[in-house]
């Protein structure tokens, strides 16, 4: 499933990153095998705030669509 | 894995050296820079580009060292202008920055893994390093304990843990530099896989070493980037025989894939893997279920409903405070310059030189210095909020709305900087990677009420808006002031929505924004940075303002008016009246007067007279010149007592009607005009440089002037009908 469809307060394992910006996304710590937790969504639904490697990162739909995850 | 033999160097600091601060954004890097350098800073743009170069000096054991605060970066893959500078400076191939002798690698202890990612890239470059751990208190709160000694053993560099918020953080760093020294890390400590290592070596040997001027220690990093990206698009080196390189890279990528490695992901994955594995020995994490301070604050500040409301409240409180706190300081400065002018005027013989000094130079200087309080208060707020971590929340909360109007969450910070000055704001749009988002942000940024408008707003509000209390601490003056800021924002949003339809779509922007932990900022760092902004305003805007004040004095003083016999007879009858009349006649027939009168018919519908007309023209040089101009104009029209500009504007009488010349309608019309008009040649110049064409500054000037004219017209008519009629 995509990170975009993930639920708030749930934890997911990052499976795969796709798209043009995958290096940028991975550099921020979203590497395959890492665990992320969805913290909240912004007032308009996006960006989505996640906790990854102990810090808070926000991503827009375009970026969450590029991240494939599985429930943990 | 562990590297117990650290090759510590301590003698480096015995001679003057260049020390660079490197690190991720939000690590306390700037705080350390400010603590080390204090006010011994030099901030200017790097030539040709618009990234700020922050340089300063510090003394360690009696030796003076240079400190460079390199732009914050997450990676050395150098895609954005500021990241390129960091990378190029580190490898010593940036023409406009000195090659650093040693590095302070700033690492956020509460966010160790991602910070070590950049650190591991930097350490591949083999520059002597002292690793500086910050935010240990936040790590503590989260149950993270870092064994500095372990970390030091893993990476082979000395590590010092400091508290960036303490006043002595510079002493802690200096002491560590003297006692622990620095060490040159070995490259590739992150244990790249054999296939990756071989690919890097081949690319280095067969191509980079022969066909590029890259220094040897920079080639592995460049090879890794080329293997991952496979393109030369954002490469800033002129490569020869690109075709050959492309073939080689493709071949190496295929080999990697055949060996089970994803060439695009390999470097990042392997670095993170090593960081994760190696931190097992040096980091202990306690599982804590209770919410941290950041979690609890975020529940409020980024709440779906409360978040945006709080953001607007923050802005409201900010601008009300700036207005009311700055006023006593401004009154004081105003008084000092009036007293000083009167003193100089009375101690020198009357004549042209006296007039030039008092009415040209001192009045002009006063017009610059008086607004320093507002600028410094504004930046105290901005830097304070940035330091607390709130600015990122503002961007997070607003991004949904910003994308709706064709902007970017990252537009919020440049746009908010635009409240101080459009020029740094436009420069800050560099963080927006997408060209279209960036262009739209630049094009609407001058609508943000910059500090140069404060003078005009402040004078007009104080003179013509009644000082009535509305609710609590809110006054009518404060409300009008806030309304003007809000008006600028509304115009910006509207224009952005239109431009989004007109401008062609490009590649969407990746949005990866960190929300740093909330913390109490280092106040002295906030103060230093705000004072630096004040210094930049005084030295850069001040020069133009004073110069134009002098030119204006010339324009207003020449050709000199020769009193007629009638005038002299009048003067005998009523000395005071005639002197005023003489001054008015002088100004009327001066070059400036002619100019103002020439455009008066065009600006009459807006409620402006020729004196404001002169101001509108001269303030194209910089908006705040408007006040300097009015100051000069009215100083030349000397009354018996030297009144402040505010009093003078209020008491100005229309000679034809005998009524006050300026009223609330004129004031509102003028403020609206200033809220929109592109009255700033410096902004246009920076837009030309940022967009690399005269097209965009011309479009900007055109649409803003037309919009300003009609808005001011409507405002004047409306105010006359509904407020005064």
Work out the burial of residue B56: count CB atoms within 10 Å of its CB; fewer than 13 is exposed, 13-18 middle, 19 or more buried.
Answer: buried
Let me know if residue B485 belongs to a domain: no
Whole-number Cα distances in Å, A26 to B72, B80, B235, B606 = 18, 17, 21, 56
- Helical ranges in B352-503 per DSSP H: 352-355, 363-369, 372-388, 390-404, 412-417, 422-428, 435-444, 454-464, 476-502
Count how many pairs of residues, chain A against chain B, have C-beta atoms within 8 Å.
Answer: 124
Let me know if domain A3-71 sits in CATH 3.90.550.10: no
Question: Of B132, B156, B183, which one is at a domain's C-terminal end?
Answer: B183
ipTM: 0.96
- The reported pLDDT for the residue numbered B436 is 80
CB contact under 8 A, A62 and B397: no
Substitution target in B272, B402, B410 with the highest count of A β-carbons within 10 Å is B272
B227 and B92 within one domain: no
Q: Report residue B508's pLDDT band, with 50, 70 and 90 as the boundaries.
A: low
Substitution target in A11, A15, A23 with the highest count of B β-carbons within 10 Å is A23
CB contact under 8 A, B114 and A55: yes
Chain A residue numbers with beta carbons less than 8 Å from the beta carbon of B110 are 54-55
CB contact under 8 A, A53 and B114: yes
Q: List the single range of B181-190, B284-293, B555-564, B620-629 with lowest mean pLDDT.
A: B620-629
Q: Is B502 helix (H, G, I), strand (E, B) or coil?
A: helix
B200 and B169 within one domain: no
- The reported pLDDT for the residue numbered B349 is 86
The CATH number covering residue B148 comes to 3.40.50.300
- The reported pLDDT for the residue numbered B281 is 76
Chain A residue numbers with beta carbons less than 8 Å from the beta carbon of B144 are 54
Choice between B595 and B672, residue whose per-residue pLDDT is larger: B672
Q: List the single range of B263-272, B347-356, B451-460 with lowest mean pLDDT.
A: B451-460
B208 and B176 within one domain: no
Rounded Cα distance, B178 and B432, in Å:
40
Rounded Cα distance, B725 and B716, in Å:
12
Q: Is B182 helix (H, G, I), strand (E, B) or coil?
A: strand
Residue B127 sits in which domain range? 8-183
- The reported pLDDT for the residue numbered B648 is 75
Q: List the single range of A29-38, B60-69, B316-325 with lowest mean pLDDT.
A: B316-325
CB contact under 8 A, B75 and A25: no
Q: For residue B70, give the DSSP letter.
A: P
CB contact under 8 A, A23 and B77: yes
Chain A residue numbers with beta carbons less than 8 Å from the beta carbon of B396 are 42, 47, 49, 58
The length of chain A in residues reads 72
CB contact under 8 A, B113 and A32: no
What does the pLDDT look like over B198-236, one tens digit per residue? 999 999 998 888 887 788 888 898 899 889 877 665 454
Closest residue in A to B78 (Cα) is A24
Q: What strand order describes the sheet that includes B512-515?
A: A67-71, A11-17, A35-41, A48-52, A55-59, B512-515
CB contact under 8 A, A56 and B294: yes
Closest residue in B to A44 (Cα) is B400
The yes-or-no verdict on residue B547 having pLDDT over 80 is no
Q: Is B122 helix (H, G, I), strand (E, B) or coil?
A: helix
The yes-or-no verdict on residue B585 having pLDDT over 90 is no
Chain A residue numbers with beta carbons less than 8 Å from the beta carbon of B228 are 23
Chain A, residues 4-63, CB within 8 A of chain B, namely: 17, 20-29, 31-32, 34, 39-47, 49, 53-60, 62-63
Q: Is B487 helix (H, G, I), strand (E, B) or coil?
A: helix
What does the pLDDT look like over B93-108, one tens digit per residue? 787 888 899 999 999 9
* Among B111, B272, B510, beta carbon nearest to A21: B510
What does the pLDDT look like over B659-697, one tens digit per residue? 777 888 888 999 999 899 988 766 776 677 667 677 888
Element (H, E) at B555: helix B542-557
Q: How far is A52 from chain B (nearest CA, A)?
A: 9
Q: Are B414 and B445 in contact (CB under 8 A)?
A: yes
The yes-or-no verdict on residue B584 having pLDDT over 70 is no
For residues B415-438, average pLDDT:
71
Chain B residue numbers with beta carbons less than 8 Å from the beta carbon of A24 are 75, 79, 510, 512
Whole-number Cα distances in Å, B480 to B319, B323, B467, B671 = 11, 11, 11, 10
What does the pLDDT look like over B639-666, one tens digit per residue? 433 456 777 777 787 777 777 778 888 8
What does the pLDDT look like over B602-630, one tens digit per residue? 998 998 888 888 788 777 656 766 776 67
CB contact under 8 A, A54 and B514: no
B220 and B141 within one domain: no
CB contact under 8 A, B397 and A42: yes
B221 and B102 within one domain: no
Q: How far is A18 from chain B (nearest CA, A)?
A: 10
Let me know if residue B148 belongs to a domain: yes
- The reported pLDDT for the residue numbered A29 is 94
**Domain count along chain B:** 2
- The reported pLDDT for the residue numbered B710 is 95
Rounded Cα distance, B66 and B54, in Å:
11
**Phi, then psi, of B517 in degrees rounded to 5:** -60, 145
Half-sphere exposure of B551 (CA within 13 A, CB side): 13
B177 and B248 within one domain: no
Rounded Cα distance, B119 and B113, in Å:
10
Choice between B141 and A13, residue whose per-residue pLDDT is larger: A13
Let me know if residue B78 belongs to a domain: yes
CB contact under 8 A, B268 and A62: no
Q: What is the mean pLDDT of chain B?
A: 82
Choice between B136 and A50, residue whose per-residue pLDDT is larger: A50
B94 and B218 within one domain: no
Substitution target in B118, B396, B507 with the highest count of A β-carbons within 10 Å is B396
For residues B168-192, average pLDDT:
92
B143 and B25 within one domain: yes
The length of chain B in residues reads 725
What does the pLDDT look like over B244-269, one tens digit per residue? 888 889 999 999 999 988 888 899 99
Q: What is the mean pLDDT of chain A?
A: 93
- The reported pLDDT for the residue numbered B638 is 47
Substitution target in B394, B515, B516 with the highest count of A β-carbons within 10 Å is B515
**Phi, then psi, of B66 in degrees rounded to 5:** -90, 140
B209 and B179 within one domain: no
Question: Of B133, B153, B183, which one is at a domain's C-terminal end?
Answer: B183
Q: Report residue B3's pLDDT band, with 50, 70 and 90 as the boundaries.
A: very low
Chain A residue numbers with beta carbons less than 8 Å from the beta carbon of B272 are 26, 29, 31, 34
Work out the burial of residue B525: count CB atoms within 10 Å of its CB; fewer than 13 is exposed, 13-18 middle, 19 or more buried.
Answer: buried
Substitution target in A33, A54, A62, A65 with the highest count of B β-carbons within 10 Å is A54
Let me know if residue B167 belongs to a domain: yes
């Amino acid at each position: 499933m995509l990170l975009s469809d993930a639920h708030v307060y749930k934890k997911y394992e990052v499976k795969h990153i796709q798209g043009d910006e995958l290096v940028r996304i991975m550099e921020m710590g979203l590497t395959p095998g890492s665990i992320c937790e969805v913290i909240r969504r912004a007032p308009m639904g996006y960006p989505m705030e996640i906790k990854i490697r102990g810090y808070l990162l926000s991503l827009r739909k375009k970026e969450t669509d590029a991240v494939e995850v599985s429930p943990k | 894995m562990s590297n117990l033999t650290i090759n510590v160097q301590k003698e480096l600091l015995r001679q003057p050296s260049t020390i660079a601060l490197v690190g991720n954004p939000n690590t306390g890097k700037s705080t350390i820079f400010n603590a080390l350098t204090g006010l011994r800073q030099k901030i200017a743009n790097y030539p040709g580009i618009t990234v700020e170069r922050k340089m300063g000096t510090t003394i360690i054991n009696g030796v003076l060292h240079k400190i460079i605060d390199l732009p914050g970066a997450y990676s050395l893959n150098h895609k954005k202008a500021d990241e390129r500078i960091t990378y190029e400076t580190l490898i010593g191939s940036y023409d406009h920055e000195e090659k650093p002798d040693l590095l302070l690698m700033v690492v956020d202890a509460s966010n160790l893994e991602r910070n070590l990612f950049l650190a591991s890239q930097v350490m591949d470059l083999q520059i002597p390093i002292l690793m500086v751990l910050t935010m240990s208190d936040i790590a503590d709160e989260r149950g993270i304990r870092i064994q500095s000694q372990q970390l030091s053993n893993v990476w082979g560099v000395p590590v010092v843990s400091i508290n960036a918020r303490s006043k002595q953080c510079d002493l802690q760093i200096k002491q560590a530099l003297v006692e622990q020294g620095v060490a040159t890390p070995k490259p590739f400590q992150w244990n790249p896989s054999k296939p990756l290592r071989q690919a890097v070596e081949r690319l280095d040997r067969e191509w980079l070493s022969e066909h590029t001027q890259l220094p040897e220690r920079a080639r592995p990093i460049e090879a890794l980037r080329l293997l991952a990206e496979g393109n030369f698009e954002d490469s800033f080196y002129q490569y020869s025989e690109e075709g050959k390189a492309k073939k080689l890279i493709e071949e190496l990528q295929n080999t990697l894939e055949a060996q089970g490695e994803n060439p695009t992901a390999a470097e990042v994955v392997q670095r993170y893997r090593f960081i994760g594995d190696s931190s097992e020995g040096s980091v202990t994490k306690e599982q804590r279920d209770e919410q941290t301070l950041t979690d609890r604050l975020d529940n409020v500040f980024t709440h779906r409903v409360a978040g945006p409301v709080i953001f607007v409240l923050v802005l409201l409180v900010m601008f009300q405070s700036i207005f009311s706190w700055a006023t006593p300081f401004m009154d004081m400065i105003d008084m000092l310059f009036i007293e000083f002018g009167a003193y100089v005027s009375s101690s020198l013989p009357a004549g042209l030189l006296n007039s030039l000094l008092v009415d040209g130079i001192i009045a002009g200087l006063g017009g610059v210095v008086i607004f320093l309080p507002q600028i410094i208060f504004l930046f105290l707020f901005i830097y304070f909020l940035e330091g607390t971590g709130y600015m990122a929340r503002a961007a997070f909360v607003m991004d949904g709305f910003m994308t709706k109007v064709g902007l970017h969450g990252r537009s919020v910070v440049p746009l908010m900087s635009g409240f101080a000055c459009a020029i740094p704001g436009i420069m800050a749009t560099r963080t927006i990677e997408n060209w279209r988002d960036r262009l739209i942000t630049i094009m609407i940024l001058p609508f943000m009420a910059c500090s140069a408008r404060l003078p005009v707003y402040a004078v007009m509000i104080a003179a013509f808006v009644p000082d009535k209390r509305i609710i609590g601490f809110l006054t009518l003056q404060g409300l009008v002031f806030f309304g003007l800021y809000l008006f600028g924002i509304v115009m910006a949003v509207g224009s952005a929505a239109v431009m989004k339809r007109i401008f062609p779509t490009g590649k969407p922007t990746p949005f990866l924004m960190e929300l740093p932990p909330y913390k109490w900022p280092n106040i002295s760092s906030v103060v230093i940075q705000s004072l630096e902004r004040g210094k930049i305003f005084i030295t850069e805007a001040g020069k133009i303002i004073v110069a134009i004040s002098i030119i204006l004095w010339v324009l207003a003083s020449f050709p000199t008016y020769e009193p007629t016999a009638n005038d002299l007879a009048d003067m005998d009858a009523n000395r005071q009246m005639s002197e005023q009349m003489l001054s008015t006649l002088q100004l009327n027939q001066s070059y400036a007067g002619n100019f103002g009168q020439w455009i008066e018919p065009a600006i009459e519908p807006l409620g402006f007279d020729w004196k404001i007309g002169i101001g509108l023209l001269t303030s194209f040089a910089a908006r705040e010149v408007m006040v300097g101009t009015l100051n000069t104009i009215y100083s030349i029209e000397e009354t018996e007592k030297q009144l402040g500009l505010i009093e003078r504007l209020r008491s100005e009488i229309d000679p034809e009607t005998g009524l006050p010349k300026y009223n609330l309608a004129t004031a509102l019309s003028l403020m609206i005009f200033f809220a929109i008009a592109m009255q700033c040649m410096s902004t246009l110049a920076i837009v030309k440089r940022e967009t690399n064409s005269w097209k965009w500054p011309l479009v900007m000037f055109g649409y803003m002037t037309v919009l300003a004219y009609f808005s001011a017209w409507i405002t004047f008519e409306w105010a006359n009908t509904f407020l005064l009629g």
